[in-house]
Amino acid sequence: MRNENFTPISFSDQEKDRFYTLSSIDSLQGRDGEHFLLFGMLSQLEEGKLFLEDKAGSIELDLSEMKSKHASVNGLFTESCFVLVDGYVEDAVFVVEEIGLPPPEARDRTRAAFPNTNLFGGNAPLRTEAQLREIEVSNDGGIIILSDVWLDQPDTMAALRTLFEGFSHTAPPIAF
């Protein structure tokens, strides 16, 4: 994580306690009872059981300890969301004492770290952000949104004809 809470500035032992240390799931083996902070994605690999996955593996979560210690938890936690979990390992199950959402990151910082990456999946964008901004600035057109367009009504067809004829002599909008 690029958040300042996870990145120590120096290697000084005095400053070490001010920062959180994230562990990977594969580093938990044989370390029952030790305390860990994990970052990963919630998933349900087996019916009715919640797991945490990271790039190194997965581990079953036990949320019963968390429920007894905390009356309320802030956040909406769904399958496939990324979370920070604090707890310990007991019999190959991670006992969660606290769960939370990772700290937010400014858009500019994310874009600098992942330039030209489509964060919603799929292929890389065909145009860069700078090219899209140039198109936006140079184009005066708008976007037309129509709702409740009943194409089986003669009045609707006449109104659409008038709308489209209005754009026949000028530049059409970017999108309908």
25 exposure class (CB count in 10 Å sphere: 0-12, 13-18, 19+): buried
pLDDT in tens, 121-154: 777 666 777 887 887 777 766 778 888 899 998 9
Q: How far is CA 110 from CA 7, 67, 119, 125, in A?
A: 16, 33, 10, 16
pLDDT in tens, 88-115: 999 989 999 989 898 888 888 888 887 7
pLDDT in tens, 21-78: 888 898 888 888 888 989 999 999 989 899 999 998 999 999 888 766 655 677 889 9
pLDDT at position 82 over 90: yes
**45, 51 contact by CB (below 8 A):** yes
Q: What is the pLDDT of residue 102?
A: 87
Helix (H, G, I), strand (E, B) or coil at 35: strand
Q: What is the pLDDT of residue 104?
A: 85
Render the burial of 28-64: b for 16+ CB within 10 Å, e for the rest.
beeeeeeebebbbebbeeeeeebbbbbeeebbebbbe
**44, 79 contact by CB (below 8 A):** yes
What is the longest distance spanned by two Cα atoms in the chain?
A: 79
